[in-house]
Amino acid sequence: MLLRHTPEAMTERTALTVNPAKTCQHVGAMYAALGIHNCLPHSHGSQGCCAYHRSALTRHYKDPIMATTSSFTEGASVFGGQANLVESINNIFTIYGPEVIAVNTTCLSEVIGDDLPQIINKARADGKIPPGKTVIHANTPSFKGSHVTGFANMTSAMVQYFSENTGKKLHQVNIIPGYVEPSDMAEIRRIAVALGVKSVLFPDTSGVVNAPLDGKFHLYPKGGATKEEIKNAGDSFFTLALGRTASLSAAKLLDTKCKVPFECLDLPIGLRATDTFVDQLRKTAGVSVPESIMTERGQVVDVITDMHQYFYGKKAALIGDPDQLIPLTQFLTDLDMDVRCIITGTPAGPKFVRRIRELVGENTVVKDGLGVDMFQFHQLVKNEQPDLLFGNTYVKYIARDEDIPLIRMGFPIYDRVGHQYFPITGYRGALRLLEKILNALLDKQDRDAPEESFELVM
CA 382, CA 87: separation in Å to the nearest integer?
A: 53
Tell me the residue type at 186.
A
Neighbours of 63 (CB within 10 A): 16
CA nearest neighbour of 41 among 61, 64, 72, 75? 64
Show Cβ contacts of residue 266 under 8 Å, excluding neighbours closer than 6 positions. 242, 243, 273, 276, 323, 326, 327, 330
Query: Which run of H or of E encompasses 44?
Result: strand 39-44
Per the CB < 8 A criterion, the answer to whether 196 and 433 are in contact is no
Assign 61 to helix, strand or coil: helix
Per the CB < 8 A criterion, the answer to whether 410 and 180 are in contact is no
CB-based burial, 415-432: b 16+ in 10 Å, e otherwise: eeeebbeebbbbbbbbbb
Show Cβ contacts of residue 47 under 8 Å, excluding neighbours closer than 6 positions. 69, 71, 72
Query: Which run of H or of E encompasses 102?
Result: strand 100-105
Q: Which alpha helices (H) appear in 217-321, and where do they start and end?
A: 227-232, 244-258, 271-285, 291-306, 308-311
- Select which of 24, 49, 103, 107 is catalytic: 107
Determine whether 173 is an active site residue.
no
Beta bridge partners of 69: 43
Determine whether 111 is an active site residue.
yes
CA 101, CA 68: separation in Å to the nearest integer?
A: 9
Query: Which run of H or of E encompasses 366?
Result: strand 365-368
Nearest-10 Cα torsion for 446, 447, 449, 453: 40
Q: Which alpha helices (H) appear in 312-362, and where do they start and end?
A: 322-334, 350-360
CA nearest neighbour of 42 among 6, 70, 62, 64? 70
How many Å from the N-terminal Cα to the C-terminal Cα in the chain? 35
CA 43, CA 76: separation in Å to the nearest integer?
A: 14
Per the CB < 8 A criterion, the answer to whether 296 and 428 are in contact is yes
Neighbours of 77 (CB within 10 A): 15
Q: Which residues are catalytic?
A: 107, 111
